[in-house]
Structure 1
Amino acid sequence: MLIVEVTKFMDWMANLSLEHHETCDRARKLLGRWRARAAETEQARCISPQTVEELHAEGLMQLFVPGRYGGLQRDWPTLVEASRIAARACPSTGWMIGLVGSHAAIVGRLPPACQEQVFADGPGQIIATASVSKEVSILKQDGGFRIDGTWRFSSGIDHANWVIVSGKDPRDGQTLLFTLRADQVQVEDVWDVAGMCGTGSKDLRLDDVFVSDVWVVSQSECFGPAPTGARHNPDGYLFDVEFIPYLGSLHIGPVLGCAEGAYDDCIATLRNRGDSKADAVSRARPILLERLAESAAQLSCARHLYHAIALLLHDAGVAGRSLSVQELLTLKRDRAYLVRSCVQAVQRLVQQMGTAVIFEASPVQRHWRDLQVMASHLDVNWDTAMLAYGDFAMDHHPCDPAMKG
């Protein structure tokens, strides 16, 4: 079975489009610039205008923009791989590509009239979102909704042209998505955090804002299979399939890239240690080599999970089908395990390096803090994923042919 899966994966990798590889190459050529700006980005608590310009110029913020509007309309593996590459140098930039960039696909699922207006000024639109809210009031009025309150964790909002927030319909309690122009919201700078500072994930304040019915859709309809906008973009599976598994799995790109970047920086730091520590390094060398090898193996396993997730989601998308219950639970299990593996691999290296890693000049400590913040996201929560999978496994006999993964 393992040989079959590996062969299938290798065939899939070989068949990735030329456009996929060209996109990844465009991200790689900017790594030096993003690495040089990483500390500045953290201090500014926001992606720099220069980085945003580069992302636009190389099409890295248009990967999920529908082709009819001049976007690149790439498949899911291309965006997540571009975000992984970027995160090796600057996890916040990887987050911008992967998480914020994915929001264009949400617009591509909205009614055509909304899509036309969002992309009226071209494909280079940045769409921020916010779903965690507090002290929110949503009232239904003739022709729309009047909303008031604060929404949290809006990554990339400083550079956004449009904003999508969610809230409960006061009539039946279902979750609605409200699309607004960025100039309709107030940004509250409360983003003083321990990691992923450069995402600029600030709060949004809406003060008695009226949103027309035209710009309000049911979240379940928008994220479910065959939403209204899918007929407008018939050649892209991301506008048509059930979207939640794809959105919830985007984190694996920045997480894996961040861990890989930390590993590379650890190796560079250890190689560059001065002669004054030569004796200590020599005595600790066997232990150090063992730790490096174990972390390398753990990251290698994480990469296998990463590719398996990409293969699953891409194949399901191309086939136009939703994931089965088992596939969905396995997906959640594997992405949580991937994240934990990355955290453990880097933790081991940080402990081995000692005080060399605690200074701000060390990129390792920045990667380490960023990784901890990303790992705390609900979509990769260990307990939730493992309990759900374990419960499913207990109810299905392992000899059952349907029980795979």
Structure 2
Amino acid sequence: MSTATLPATADGAVAPPEPGLTREEVVRRAEALAGTLVDRQAETEERTFYAPDTHEAFARAGLYRILVPRRYGGHEFGVETFMRVAQALGRGCPSTGWMYTLGAAHALAVASLFEESAQEEIFAGGDFISPATITPTGRARRAPEGGWIIDGTFPYCSGAPYATHFIGHTTIEDEDGGEPRLLLFIAPRDQWTLVDDWGRQLGLKGSGSHSVRFEGGRIPDHFALEDTHLSEVDVTRGTPGLRLHGNPEYGGGPLSSMLLESASLAVGMAQGALDAYEELMRSRTTIFTQVVRAEDPDYQLWYGQAAGMIATAEAAVHEAARQWSLTCAEGPGAFTREKDLRLATVCREVIKLAWHAVEGHLFPTAGSSSVRSGQRIERIWRDMSTLHSHAGIGVLLPSVATREYARVRFGVAEGGDA
């Protein structure tokens, strides 16, 4: 639905389709929708993205407007609500949860980093879906009439099949032969094409993480930020979004907000595995004694260990999201790089706990018939394994970000000199 058809509020902002929708209700809707996703996981993997009717159900439920500013017809419910929705959907279907989350989450970045003129155009449709990649790809050159021309193929664009936009990083061609510079940009859907190259991976086969290709894509100046990387923005002096909307969460730490997404999804996936294991506990018997697994001391131990780890991970990610919001509320100067990185390390531990619960306790003891191809625990194991192959989660977070946190904490330069 276009915001042009929506009524305006007293202050001139665009009213959302459901002005009375609450945070609690949108989470309840997501949990209800998650229950419908379990039996559709196989078809989602086959299609490589969730179904059109699921997409329409998400739109009707208001899920694509959770982080969109109120003045543009969004709900502006904030990070804590969004992460609970991500967790719920990941519990029902990891691929669907991943695709939704990494598409809808970046409304927060746009509403934080871009000026009003850009936001008015970007959020004009109300619903907002935009994959974002952090690895600089392709090239940008100045267009004769102004703005930028983008060329290149950008891989791993989760959420691309239903995307309204795409956020990427590229390098600016230097006509004088100097060092290339970084360009962060957002491109409307009509400036790029979807590449049919997803679905052959180990897991997250239905996450819609296709590549997108630019062949002379045109980007206006106000849709681009020079010398800027999404994960390294300094927000301590305030952001355009904070000044425009007056909402502290449009001025929060960008790195930790992105990692909260992955951590929330990891918890949801692990909860889905525990749900499947619980069904086995109630319905299957042990090999030798032929008693129901729920009555067997060993299975009680394995279930209890995993359940405790997953509950701890859930508590930690909810608390991290709460701390993120509270730090935003303290004012721009509070969200230093150190605090951004500290919350990132919490997310690191959440992901580790969720993973170890599944691969250390649930998967090995579920039984070979329960981890055949297409079984729920088998699929979640594949999906969580693939989550760990993500460069940000498998490489940058446990190494680069961890070292950087210590350096920032102790005031040590990157080369080791104080």
TM band (smaller chain): 0.7 to 0.9
Aligned with residue 225 of structure 2, among 217, 223, 245: 217
Alignment of 1:332-351 (within 5 A): 332-347=344-359, 348-351=361-364
- Give how far 1:77 is off: 0.6
Contact (CA 8 Å) 1:128, 1:163: kept in 2 or not?
yes
For residue 156 of structure 2, give the secondary structure of its aligned residue in structure 1.
Answer: strand
Aligned with residue 279 of structure 2, among 268, 291, 294: 268
Q: Distance in 1 between matches of 2:194 and 2:140?
A: 19
Superposed CA offset, 1:38-92 (max 9, x none):
2211121111111111111111111111101110011111101111011111112
Aligned with residue 376 of structure 2, among 346, 363, 366: 363
- Give how far 1:389 is off: 5.2
Bigger Cα displacement from structure 2, 303-312 vs 64-73: 303-312
Partner of 2:184: 177
For residue 167 of structure 1, give the secondary structure of its aligned residue in structure 2.
Answer: strand
Partner of 1:279: 290
Q: Distance in 2 between matches of 1:141 and 1:392?
A: 39
Is residue 398 of structure 2 the alignment partner of residue 382 of structure 1?
Answer: yes
- Give how far 1:351 is off: 0.4
For residue 279 of structure 1, give the secondary structure of its aligned residue in structure 2.
Answer: coil
Aligned with residue 137 of structure 1, among 136, 139, 143: 139
Partner of 1:228: 240
Q: Decide whether aligned partners of structure 1 residues 375 and 275 sit closer, same or farther in structure 2, where only a CA change above 3 A counts.
A: closer
For residue 179 of structure 1, give the secondary structure of its aligned residue in structure 2.
Answer: strand
What RMSD in Å do the two structures reach over aligned CA positions? Answer: 2.8
Q: Distance in 2 between matches of 1:166 and 1:31?
A: 32
Alignment of 1:41-190 (within 5 A): 41-108=44-111, 109-120=113-124, 122-132=125-135, 134=137, 136-142=138-144, 143-171=146-174, 173-190=180-197
- Give how far 1:255 is off: 0.7
| Structure 2 unaligned blocks of 5 or more | 1-20, 413-418
- Give how far 1:178 is off: 2.1
- Give how far 1:221 is off: 8.3
Q: Which amino acid aligns with 1:338?
A: V
- Give how far 1:311 is off: 2.0
Partner of 1:207: 215
The answer to which structure has the higher strand fraction is 1
Q: Distance in 2 between matches of 1:385 and 1:117?
A: 34
Alignment of 1:183-332 (within 5 A): 183-191=190-198, 192-218=200-226, 220=228, 223-225=233-235, 226-234=238-246, 236-273=247-284, 279=290, 285-321=296-332, 322-332=334-344
Contact (CA 8 Å) 1:132, 1:153: kept in 2 or not?
no
Q: Distance in 1 between matches of 2:338 and 2:120?
A: 38
Superposed CA offset, 1:270-320 (max 9, x none):
322269876276799322221111111211221232122112101011222
For residue 153 of structure 1, give the secondary structure of its aligned residue in structure 2.
Answer: coil
Q: Decide whether aligned partners of structure 1 residues 299 and 219 sit closer, same or farther in structure 2, where only a CA change above 3 A counts.
A: farther
Q: Distance in 2 between matches of 1:57 and 1:74?
A: 16
Q: Which amino acid aligns with 1:342?
A: A
The answer to which structure has the higher helix fraction is 1
Alignment coverage as a number of residue pairs:
377
Q: Distance in 2 between matches of 1:334 and 1:266?
A: 27
Q: Which amino acid aligns with 2:189?
A: A
Q: Decide whether aligned partners of structure 1 residues 276 and 335 sit closer, same or farther in structure 2, where only a CA change above 3 A counts.
A: closer
Q: Distance in 2 between matches of 1:137 and 1:394?
A: 37
Contact (CA 8 Å) 1:133, 1:152: kept in 2 or not?
no
Q: Distance in 2 between matches of 1:227 and 1:194?
A: 39
Superposed CA offset, 1:361-384 (max 9, x none):
421111111112223334433344
For residue 198 of structure 1, give the secondary structure of its aligned residue in structure 2.
Answer: coil
TM-score, structure 1 length as denominator? 0.84
Q: Decide whether aligned partners of structure 1 residues 358 and 69 sit closer, same or farther in structure 2, where only a CA change above 3 A counts.
A: same
- Give how far 1:133 is off: 5.1
Q: Which amino acid aligns with 1:352?
A: T
For residue 290 of structure 2, give the secondary structure of its aligned residue in structure 1.
Answer: helix
Contact (CA 8 Å) 2:372, 2:378: kept in 1 or not?
yes
Partner of 1:31: 34
Q: Decide whether aligned partners of structure 1 residues 391 and 278 sit closer, same or farther in structure 2, where only a CA change above 3 A counts.
A: farther
Q: Distance in 2 between matches of 1:34 and 1:53?
A: 14
| Structure 1 unaligned blocks of 5 or more | 1-17, 397-405
- Give how far 1:130 is off: 3.1
Q: Decide whether aligned partners of structure 1 residues 361 and 208 sit closer, same or farther in structure 2, where only a CA change above 3 A counts.
A: closer
Contact (CA 8 Å) 2:104, 2:128: kept in 1 or not?
no
Q: Distance in 2 between matches of 1:107 and 1:358?
A: 41
Contact (CA 8 Å) 2:202, 2:382: kept in 1 or not?
yes
Q: Decide whether aligned partners of structure 1 residues 212 and 390 sit closer, same or farther in structure 2, where only a CA change above 3 A counts.
A: closer
Q: Distance in 1 between matches of 2:340 and 2:277?
A: 35
Partner of 2:25: 22
